Copies of this chain bind each other. A is one copy, B any other.
Amino acid sequence: MPLWKIYHPEDAFTAEQKRALSQTITELYAPRLPRFYVGVVFQAVPADDFYLGGEPATNFVRIWVDHIARTLPNAEARTRWMNHVIAALTPHIGDRGFDWEFHIDETSFELWSINGMRPPAPDTEDEKRWKAENRPSPLTATVA
């Protein structure tokens, strides 16, 4: 459900650092969602393709995120979530000396599909099984 897209300078991350960051991101959601819901795409951007304020961005990591499976219900929940994400990501990015920015959009649960199925509603038996098995399987209940 969450899709993370990470634009970064070439050589900003080794393969091991990318994997570690993707695991940190996965852990943010793992208390509530199946791990396989969490997709992360890294993209190295050459300096002449990446601009901040009209100048080449050579030290900048720019992340955008779509949330689908859950919506943050109010300002307090959004603040708590943002602080949680910032704390988790800082060691991977800010503490390594990069400038960094991220933003999250929330999109429709009803316009989402995994392996040709519409994923189970939150906290249903189907979602619990998907989470426990960490893979999609045929649904026992119809998604409205």
Which residues of A come within 8 Å of B, CB atoms? 1, 3, 7, 15, 18-19, 22-23, 25-27, 34-45, 48-57, 60, 62, 64, 66, 68, 72, 75, 78-79, 81-82, 85-86, 90, 94, 99-108, 110-116, 118, 134, 144
Contacts and interface: CB of A to CB of B under 8 A. Distances in A.
A103 B66 contact: yes
A75 B75 CA distance: 26
A55 to B, nearest CB: 8
B18 A62 contact: no
A26 to B, nearest CB: 4
A41 B144 contact: no
Q: How many copies does the complex hold?
A: 3
A49 B41 contact: yes
Give the residue among A3, A64, A101 with the most B Cβ atoms within 10 A. Answer: A101
A26 B54 CA distance: 6
A57 B1 CA distance: 15
B103 A112 contact: yes
A82 to B, nearest CB: 6
A107 to B, nearest CB: 4
A72 B134 CA distance: 31
B115 A99 contact: yes
A38 B26 contact: no
Given A54-B26, A78-B111, A111-B72, A101 B39 contact: yes
